[in-house]
Structure 1
C-alpha cells in the first residue's frame, strides 16, 4: 500500500497586506499553521509564513493562492508524507541558522526567491537535511515567470542526527551567495537577525519583518 501524501502551500503573508485576514474570512475551514508558532515572532501571525493544507477538493483556496503567487513572490508548493501538525514544526526548526560563529538568524526560505537559491548555496548534507521533510517543493521564479522544482535527495540518518540539536551553520561564502541571489531576485535580506525580544513598535506587520540589520 502506498504511503499517503499531503499537499500544501507555504504563504509568506508579509508580502501582502491582508492575506491572513482574507484567508481566515474567506476560507474558515482551511487548515493551516504559522511557522512562527513557538518563536519570538509568534505574535506576528498576520505577517507570518503560513503552511496551508491544499487538498484537491479545495479548488477555491488553491485558485486564491495562485492569484497571490502572481501578485507577489509569496507562495511555494509542497508535497510531503507528513500531516500538517507534524510538518509545520519541522519547517519551523529550519527557520534558524547560524552565521559568524554562533549568531542566530532567521532564514527566509518562505520567500520563493530565497527558496530557489538554497539548493546551490547549501552543501550536500545541509541540503539533504533541509529538504528531508518534503518529497516535492516548487515555486515560481518571478523574473522569468517559470516554475522550478527542488531536486530532493533523500536524507540519511546521519544527516538528520547532524542537525538534530543545532541549526545549520552558514559559511561566509554561503551567506554571500544567498545575499547575491536575493539582490538579483529583488530581495535584499535573505537572512534576518533573531531579535532578543519581540518587537512592540507601531509598524505594520509586513514592515516589522524587514526591520533589523541586513545580514
Structure 2
C-alpha cells in the first residue's frame, strides 16, 4: 500500500485504535490498467451496487477494505494510484458496508437547473476540486464519517479532513 498512508494510519491509531484503511478505486481505470474487472469478493464493495447504475458496477467506484483484501491487493492499488488518477485512500472507523452506504448517498447531486448529476468523487482530480469548492458546512457533511481522505495531486500526497481541505 502507499507507504506514507500506512505510516499515517499507524500514527493515528495511537489515539484512535478503531481506525481502518480503505481504498476507493475507479473500476474503469482498474480494468484499463490491469486488464480485468473488479468484482464482488470479500473486502470489496461496489458503490453502484443497489443503485440505478448497478448494471455498471464493474466500471464504477469500488471500496476496498485493505485489511481484509490483503497486502498484495494493497500494493497493486498503490501502484495503480501512481499510474493513473484512479485510487484514493480513506481512514475511518466505519465498517466496509456502512461506509459504502454512506458514500452512495453522495453519488448523485442536484444541479441548479434541477437535474441530477453523478458526482465522480472517487476520481482524485474531482475530489481535490470538490474539497476546495464546498463551504465549511458542506465539507463537514461530506467528510463527516471520514477521519482523513488521502490522494495524490500533481504527484504529491495531500489529505482532506472534515474541517479542512489542503488539496
Settle same-fold status: TM greater than 0.5. yes
Partner of 1:100: 112
Partner of 2:60: 48
Gaps of at least 5 residues in structure 1 are: 155-215
Runs of 4+ off more than 4 Å: none
| 1:99 Cα deviation from its structure 2 partner | 0.8
| 1:17 Cα deviation from its structure 2 partner | 2.8
* CA distance, structure 2, for counterparts of residue 88 and residue 145 of structure 1: 27
* CA distance, structure 2, for counterparts of residue 43 and residue 149 of structure 1: 32
Partner of 1:35: 47
1:4 lines up with 2:18 in the alignment: yes
TM-score normalized with structure 1 length: 0.63
Partner of 2:156: 146
* CA distance, structure 1, for counterparts of residue 70 and residue 157 of structure 2: 22
* CA distance, structure 1, for counterparts of residue 161 and residue 60 of structure 2: 26
| 1:38 Cα deviation from its structure 2 partner | 2.0
TM-score normalized with structure 2 length: 0.80
| 1:77 Cα deviation from its structure 2 partner | 0.2
Which of 127, 136, 139 is the aligned partner of 1:115?
A: 127
CA distance 1:147–1:56, change in 2 (3 Å)? farther
1:43-84 Cα distance to aligned partner (Å, 9 max, x none): 112201000001288221111001111221000000111100
SS in structure 2 of the partner of residue 55 of structure 1: helix
Gaps of at least 5 residues in structure 2 are: 1-14
Partner of 2:5: none
* CA distance, structure 2, for counterparts of residue 110 and residue 60 of structure 1: 21
1:98-137 Cα distance to aligned partner (Å, 9 max, x none): 1124211111101000001112111111110000111010
CA RMSD of aligned residues (A): 2.4
SS in structure 2 of the partner of residue 114 of structure 1: helix
Greater percentage in helix: 2
* CA distance, structure 2, for counterparts of residue 20 and residue 110 of structure 1: 20
* CA distance, structure 2, for counterparts of residue 20 and residue 34 of structure 1: 18
Q: Report how many aligned residue pairs link the two structures.
A: 149
Partner of 2:3: none
Query: Do 2:31 and 2:38's aligned partners in 1 also have CA atoms closer than 8 Å?
Result: no
1:13 lines up with 2:23 in the alignment: no
Query: Do 1:20 and 1:45's aligned partners in 2 also have CA atoms closer than 8 Å?
Result: no
